[in-house]
Structure 1
Amino acid sequence: MSNTALAFFQQNIGKRIADNSPSPVARFLDGTLIAAEEGSITVEYIVKENMVNPAHILHGGIAATMLDDIIGMTVFTMGNNVFYSTVNLSVDYLFSAKIGEKVLVKSRVVRMGKKIAHAEGEIRNENGVLIAKCTTNLVVTSNTIK
């Protein structure tokens, strides 16, 4: 059985996610897909003015959204056509990112169970400095992806 979801992501490496995503959040974040393999995705984002807090650094809620969004995509690369929904998301904020900076967000499925997926994610700046990291659990829903 071929993994059509993974094939789709791999065909879109180097492209803006917003051009092919059904997700309004993904279109807002406007990242570029850098890498995709089964159980891992890397996306590059540019921190924009509408993504920062009053201190002009990446807003924690936007950082969490970046992590949550690509982890959802990552679970989809595992090849089942079922929608997973986030149960929890624990984020550690370790450094800041300013307007105009590029950040790389990378995810990894740690364990894929029949009902629960466990994953990790991280955000790093262009110099490799760790901006934020997370762990999360997602639960399978009754929704199927068409």
Structure 2
Amino acid sequence: MNPIIEFFKSHIGQYAADISPSSLGRWLNGKLVSVEEGSVVVEFVVREEMTNPAKILHGGAAASMLDDVMGMTVYMLGRESFYTTVNLNVDYLLPAKLNDVLQVKSKIIRAGKTVINIECQILNADHKIVAKCTSNMVVTGVKI
């Protein structure tokens, strides 16, 4: 049994502002929805400060949601070292508006010793893909 996964499971329903060690994660303030090995679902509400002048979700805010959720997913593997994002390839497919509730779902594709390949999607209330990405995360010399 993975104690990190069990820790995350014990926090399902809680908001990042109350539990995240990440400053950006606290600002995004997602609500943990579900956790399983290699996958996490986090719910976000599009706030005004996350939007562009057209009042739709800013691409940088969307990328931050994706990257933050993927980081959580990789952390749950219980590795000794911190992993960092090497690349983040995002496709923006639909707009998300102010106050939209979005779900961000991650999935590890391959977890090697040095590089972890992961995918993530942002889904709207109609379960349509707002944005999706792939990323590679690489081990650093920083111990957790």
- TM, length-normalised to structure 2: 0.97
- Residue 54 (structure 1) aligns with: 53
- Tell me the CA shift for residue 144 of structure 1: 1.4
**How many residues in Structure 1 have an aligned counterpart in Structure 2?**
144
Q: Secondary structure at the match of 1:90?
A: strand
> RMSD of the alignment, in Å?
0.8
Report the residue type matching 1:92 in the other structure: D
Q: Distance in 1 between matches of 2:72 and 2:36?
A: 11
- Tell me the CA shift for residue 4 of structure 1: 2.0
Q: Distance in 1 between matches of 2:40 and 2:77?
A: 11
Q: Distance in 2 between matches of 1:129 and 1:96?
A: 10
- Residue 27 (structure 1) aligns with: 26
Structure 1, residues 33-79: CA drift from partner, whole Å, max 9, x if none? Answer: 00011110000000000000000000000000000000000001112
Q: Distance in 1 between matches of 2:11 and 2:17?
A: 11
| Partners of 1:123 and 1:133 within 8 A in 2 | yes
Structure 2: which 5+ residue stretches go unaligned? Answer: none
Structure 1: which 5+ residue stretches go unaligned? Answer: none
| Partners of 1:37 and 1:77 within 8 A in 2 | no
- TM, length-normalised to structure 1: 0.96
Q: Secondary structure at the match of 1:126?
A: coil
Report the residue type matching 1:66 in the other structure: M
Question: What is the percent sequence identity of the aligned residues?
Answer: 50
